[in-house]
Structure 1
Amino acid sequence: MADPGIYGGLAARYGRRSGIEGEGGGGGRHQANDSRGGRARKQQQDPDENKRKPHLEPNNALGSGVPHTAGEPYGVTMRRRTDPPARHPNAMTFGMFGCPADPLAIPPLGPYPRARGRGGARMTFPVHQSPPLCQKPVAHDALNIWKPAEGTPDFLGRNDGTTLFHEFGHGLHGIPSNPKHSTLPGTNPARDLPEFPSQNNEHWGAHDAVLGNCALRYEKKGPIPRAPVDRTKAAGARRARFHTTEVARAAQLDL
């Protein structure tokens, strides 16, 4: 049976929203918990977002950062292509090649939403891989960040950058999968399998080698300062520890 203290802690945290009373049932417990939660939220806020943004331009991230995460760990090279033409002027088309320069896929990358497209970031396969048919895959990554006004520079926030590398991680998993069965191409296996490489690519996207390659100051092209990067990574570690504890306590409550 779960520790009764867990119920009290959860009730104190969510009581105001759900009407659950914690141990003692008083409003003081809720107020104290709100105070602790407020401090935790303030610690988790990202004061360096505006300092980092001028170093995270979509063209650099797509043209240098994303190919770097394909080349270093997987030995895959990416080359910008103008044939076939992109389906939309905002999209970039690349050719992906393995060793020795065998074509693997054609991944179009679209950073902005289209009027007739659906929202949300995603990776899809318009053409699935089929070794029996000698058919190479076509993978499409859609980031769907807001497009800035004409003449205004475009920058990626922390979540946008994480999403970009996450979705491309799906492509890095699905493109070279080389399935024998037509029902399992790309990212069609059980959910846990394709989510691992995508989340792994999120961490690889924040690696110093990748940031040094693509996180360059807008116009000045200087490298991103070390201090905001370190603070962002430390904040991410705190959020991960908090989330891990939250999941463990919820699992204990379920048991």
Structure 2
Amino acid sequence: MKKGIIFAGVAAVAATLFWLGWSDNFADGETNTSSVANVVQQENKNTVNTNKLDELDKKLTTDIDLKIPKADPKVTTTEEQLLTAFQRMQLSVGKFNSASFINEEMQDLLHNPEMIEIAQKSLIDFKHAEAAFGEQQALVRVFSIRLLDQLAKAGEPGPLYEATGQLASNLSEQLANGEEIEKRRDLDLEDLVYASISTYDDEQVISSPEMVMMELGYFDDFHNDVRKIYANQFGSIISREKSVDETIEIVQKLFKKQS
């Protein structure tokens, strides 16, 4: 079958050369065998390269399956299934075709509302994340953001926006009460705001920032540190179209002249 495809490709190339006017040799009854041979050789190289890539892809999946098999939903909880999926993704990081592997694993989770709910709760409620995932809670939070981001890119940004607004509200309350924020949760919020604002075109953010802020769960009475996180992300978008001075003026007006 592959040989047939290759010869068909060669014939097509030869016909193209003829109609482009590179046909003097053909008119004289001669065949440009070197050109045809080069095409065949290139086709063979492409086939070999594709096969090698497929082999590497399969090897990655096989290696991960051996180290961390997929969780069996018949004998594991939803939390265990989610954690296992995230651990498999983490194991692929830095390996060939990691992005493709992670995307495939994500697809299995996107269609499960329970997975989405647990991902949201793990970001919003730190105590729940610790109780459900123990020392792995940081890993779960990182990939939960990626999961909600993927869901938003698939056309369902609601859970991402909800997690962003609720985490912002929780952190603001903790700070207002003089409580210390758990390690990296402020960075979680940065990542969530970034992912959320990325669902909008720059023009939407610049022309209707208040509407976007509302969608992302922003309130003027948030603690200053939380407002700064929103302001920095909005400022980075606005600065793409406005001067530095204009950006500062707009951001200060939007976020109550925070320092």
Q: What is the TM-score normalised by the length of structure 2?
A: 0.26
Q: Which has the higher helix share?
A: 2
Which is higher, the Rg of structure 1 or of structure 2? 2
More contact order relative to length (CA 8 Å, sep ≥ 6): 1
Q: Could you say which structure has the higher strand fraction?
A: 1
TM-score of the pair, normalised by structure 1: 0.27
